[in-house]
Structure 1
Amino acid sequence: MINHTIKVLLAEDHSLVRSSLQEILQTNSKYEIIASVASSEEALSALQNSIIVPELCILDIQMPDMDGIECTKAIRELYPQMKIILLTAFDHDTYMEEGAIARINGYLLKDMNVESFYRSVDMVMEGQFVAPLKLINNISSRLTQLRELEKNTTINDLSKLLSKHSSSLDDKELEIVRLIWQGWSNRMIAEDLYITEGTVKNYVSRMYRKLSINTRSELLQILAVKQE
């Protein structure tokens, strides 16, 4: 049970939404807003310059300079233990999955009611991951499919599975596909292959262009569909 004031940093680029969130948080004595900003860059600056470090960051997923997921990654470099919630209008598991890879603690929809919001924040502060059940079920189903795929598929199989979607991937790209499908982050892949994280990102971007996709989740969906 949280029995002290939770210090919060809020980042939301739409002023009306930001004002509403401030009012919701200030109405409840559990929360104290340390900073309320309109961009990810301002959020990172506030974290680095504030005398009081907040325990919780609430970030809009779409902001003009850097999105909430990239901001989460940057915050994690500075404050590995900080609680981070993405607040979004997007009821889509792709965004939530990418947020989870960045190690968010919660994924909340903007259309939720105030009491649910308070309850969700409390659960995050108590160490739980909070997200809409529908999105969690979607990801769970896909992970089950991918586990079966991992058991039964070789690099050659991956090449065949992806061949209808692109010009052929080279051996290094297929190896990275295999590691992505096993749930590895770019950093883990870089360490395993003895290359830089930037090089991994370059490989991944090239793979996406070949496959005509934009996200890791879309890649996993291609493999899951082919397994069915």
Structure 2
Amino acid sequence: MLLNLSRHRDLIGSAAQATSSAEVEQVARAQQPEIALISAALSDGPLAGFRVLPTLHSLLPECRVIVLLDDTNEELALDAFRAHARGVFHRSDPMEQLVKCVDKVRQGEVWVQPGELRAVFDAFAECSTFCSARSTNVQLNDRELKVARLVVEGQTNRQIGRRLNLSEHTVKNYLSRMFEKVGVRSRVELAVLMMNDH
């Protein structure tokens, strides 16, 4: 696999190999790669690749990781994305697809099979249910109401700050307190709540 990738130096640049989670960490520290292709199975265990993913993300948050799986497995693919992977590739996929996968992930895209993508979306929807509350008994003060109305208008924190003569940081703090006060998690949920209340 490494040999196949090394034939595409124009896309890949230099390549290094590691067989254990400890070696992956050593190579990551020494080389600081832009892209890392990490096998789920390493010499120190069938899922040892997953053990090194949080460390890799902590060391190199900008490094785009592709997890290599032995075969299609929605659960493992989902866990790979939970661990900040940007792509999942299968050993059974054609090798020419691996070069394309690396190139797409390097460009900031995500690489995943359609069935696994569906599983990722389903998991995201399950853990982040959109709240569309009809109304609230919680009262916002005048300043919070002004901020909320500007959110409904689609204004950014910077724009709201300019309109109300506040710093962007202060607007962010207002929004955090308001989210907690009215029981929502996002600007969109706040805007929907405000629209339903009026």
Asked whether the two chains share a fold, i.e. TM above 0.5, the reply is: yes
Which residue pairs with 1:223 in the alignment?
Answer: none
- Report how far residue 54 of structure 1 moved: 1.7
Q: Which has the higher strand share?
A: 1
Query: Which structure would you say has the larger Rg?
Result: 2
2:80 corresponds, among 99, 115, 122, to: 99
Q: Does 1:37 align with 2:54?
A: no
Report the count of equivalent residues.
130
Distance between the aligned counterparts of 1:147 and 1:29, measured in 2? Answer: 41
Instruction: Provide the rounded CA distance (Å) in 1 between the counterparts of 2:123 and 2:80.
Output: 16
Q: Post-superposition shift, 1:122? A: 1.0
Give the match for residue 145 of structure 2: none
The counterpart of 1:56, out of the listed 28, 35, 38, is: 35
Q: Is the 8 A contact 2:2 2:15 kept in 1?
A: no
CA shift at 1:79, angstroms? Answer: 0.7
- Encode CA deviations 1:19-54: one digit per residue, 9 max, x unaligned: xx1111111122234421211111111222x2x422
Report the identity percentage: 16
Q: Give, as a single letter, the amino acid of the residue that structure 2 aligns with 1:63.
A: L
**How does the TM-score come out when normalised to structure 1?**
0.51
Aligned equivalents of 1:53 and 1:139: distance in 2? 28
Q: State the one-letter code of the partner of 1:117.
A: L
Equivalent residue for 1:78?
Answer: 59
Counterpart in the other structure of 1:47: 28
What residue is the counterpart of 2:6 in the other structure?
26
Could you tell me how far apart the structure 2 residues matched to 1:82 and 1:144 are?
Answer: 26
State the Cα RMSD in Å: 2.4
Q: Which runs of 5+ in 1 are unaligned?
A: 1-20, 152-228
Question: Normalization by structure 2: what TM-score?
Answer: 0.58
Q: What SS class does the counterpart of residue 37 from structure 1 fall into?
A: coil
Q: Which consecutive aligned stretches of 4+ in structure 1 deviate over 4 angstroms post-superposition? A: 142-151
Listed as ranges, the matches of 1:10-25 within 5 Å are 21-25=1-5
